[in-house]
Amino acid sequence: MKLLEALRVAVGAEFVLTAADDVAPYLTDWRKRYIGAAQAVVRPADTAQVAAVVRACIAARAPMVPQGGNTGLVGGGTPDASGNAVVVSLARLNRIRALDAANDTITVEAGCILQAVQDAARAAGRLFPLSLAAEGSATIGGNLSTNAGGTQVLRYGNTRELTLGLEVVLPSGEVWDGLRGLRKDNTGYDLKHLFIGAEGTLGLLTAATLKLYPLPAARMTAFAAVPSLAAATALLDRARAAAGPTLTGFEVMSDACLRKLARELPRVRLPLAIAQPWFVLLELSDHESETHAGAQLEALLGAAFEAGEAADAVVAQSLAEAQHLWHVREAIPEAHAKAGGNVKHDISLPVSRIAEFVASTDAALRARFPWIAPSVFGHLGDGNLHYNMGTQDGTPIAVAFEHEAEINRVVNDAVAARGGSIGAEHGIGQLKRATLLGYKPTVELELMRKIKQAFDPLNLMNPGKVL
C-alpha cells in the first residue's frame, strides 16, 4: 500500500492534505526563516490514529515532523526542503481528558491550546501556571517538546517541573501510556524526562498529566524603572527575601525595547516615561488577601526606592491594569518582528553574572559593529535573557543578519565563558543544531546520540533537529 493511501486509511482522506495551498501554512516557521516541503500534512484525531500514521511512515521510511501551534522560534516544527517528510499536525488532539481537583492534576491532549488548559484549570478553582506570550496559539505538545519556560518559572518551574506523566507514540509505532498523576513513583528510570525537551526527535507526544495549584487569593503587579541592570538584580534579591514563594514573576526589559514598542505599536500605552535604562515587571501571588499582598508590595518598593534600586514605579490597581502591564512586556516580540526582526539569542546565565555579561558583551559587540543596537528583555528571575541584536537608525536590519554568524560567536562564547547555556526555552531545532556542537561537551553529545539511536534507529522522528 502506498504511503498516501495508507495515511488516508489511517485518518480519513479529508485529513491528509496534499494540495499546495493546504499544506503551505505548515511548511513555514513562525519567524519565516525556514520554508520546507512535505509529501503531505496529516491531521490525526486521537492517539490510535497517530500510532497508525507512525506505522505507515515506518513502512514507507518517511520522516515525520510533529507540529502543534507552529509558534516555535528555532525551526523545530517545520520540515526540510527535500519533500520526503510527512508533517503530523496534532491540532485535532485537543481534548481535556480529565481534571482531578483533589489530586491537583489535569490530563490533556497534545493539541490543546495552552490558554484552554489555563481556562479549564481556572474553572475548577485551580491554577495551571505555565504562561507565555503565545499562549493563545501554542499547544501543550509544543510546550513539552521545548520544555517551555515563560513568565512564572521563578515560582513554578519549567514545563518539565509541571509534568507528572506522558503518553507517547514511539518510533516503533507502539504507545507508551505513562499518564500517572503521582508525585512519587520511584520504580526505575523516569522516562518522561527523555521526551520533554526532545523536540519530537524521540517520539510523538500525544497527551500529558500536568500539575495544578490552588488559585491565589490576590495578585499584585508592579512596573518599575531602575537605574541599571545591577539594580534590577538587587531588587530581585530584595523581592525574594521579602516575598519568598509569593514572588511569581520578575521580568526585565531595556529602554531600547520600550522605545521600539512605542514606535512600532503605539496602541500599547507605556506605564512609565522612558527615563531610565532598565525596567522590571514583578508580580506577587498571595494566598492570604489582596490587602496583605498590597502591603507587602508597598513595603518592598519603598525599601527599593530608599536603596536606590528603583527610581519610579506604578502598581496595578485592578485586574485590567495588571493585564495591561503584562501586555507591555509580552508585546515586545511583536514590536521587534514588526520592525524587521533581529538576531536573537535565547540564553541563560547564573543571575549573579547577568549584569556583567550584558555590559561586557554589549561593549564587545559595539566595538566590532558600530551600528549594532542591543534590545534585551527576559525572565531575570530565572536567569533567562532574550539578548537580541538589531541596528541603529539609518542601518538596515539586513546588515545584522549579514553578520549573524559572527554576532552569534561573540555572544555564545561570552555565555559559555560564564557557565551559561546557548538555549534556554526556545529549543535547538534547526537554528542552533550546528552551533550546539561547539558548546556541548563531547560526552553529552555522544550520550544524546546513543539515546536517539536506541529510540529511533531509522532516524525518522523529526530528523535534522537538535542532533
Q: Could you read off the pLDDT of 185-237 as tens digits, one per residue?
A: 999 999 999 999 999 999 999 999 999 999 998 899 999 999 999 999 999 99
Q: How confident is the model at residue 1 (pLDDT cuts 50, 70, 90)?
A: low
Contact yes or no for 77/34 (Cβ under 8 A): no
Dihedrals φ, ψ of 14, to 5°?
Answer: -70, -15
463 part of a folded domain = no
Q: Could you read off the pLDDT of 77-129 as tens digits, one per residue?
A: 999 999 999 999 999 999 999 999 999 999 999 999 999 999 999 999 999 99
Number of domains comprising the chain: 4
Q: Could you read off the pLDDT of 6-40 as tens digits, one per residue?
A: 999 999 999 999 999 999 999 998 888 889 999 99
Q: How confident is the model at residue 405 (pLDDT cuts 50, 70, 90)?
A: very high
End position of a domain, from candidates 183, 214, 245: 214
Dihedrals φ, ψ of 325, to 5°?
Answer: -60, -40
The number of C-alpha atoms within 13 Å of 177 and in the hemisphere containing its C-beta is: 2
125 part of a folded domain = yes
Say which CATH number the domain at 14 has: 3.30.43.10
End position of a domain, from candidates 37, 58, 89: 89
Average pLDDT, integer, range 258-262: 96
Q: What do you get for the CA distance between the two ends of the chain, in Å?
A: 32
Q: Give yes or no: residues 102 and 163 share one domain.
A: yes
Dihedrals φ, ψ of 132, to 5°?
Answer: -155, 170
The boundaries of the domain holding residue 410 are: 340-439
Q: Give yes or no: residues 354 and 387 share one domain.
A: yes
Nearest C-alpha neighbor of 245 from the set 183, 310, 293, 181 = 293
403 part of a folded domain = yes
Length of the chain: 467
237 part of a folded domain = yes
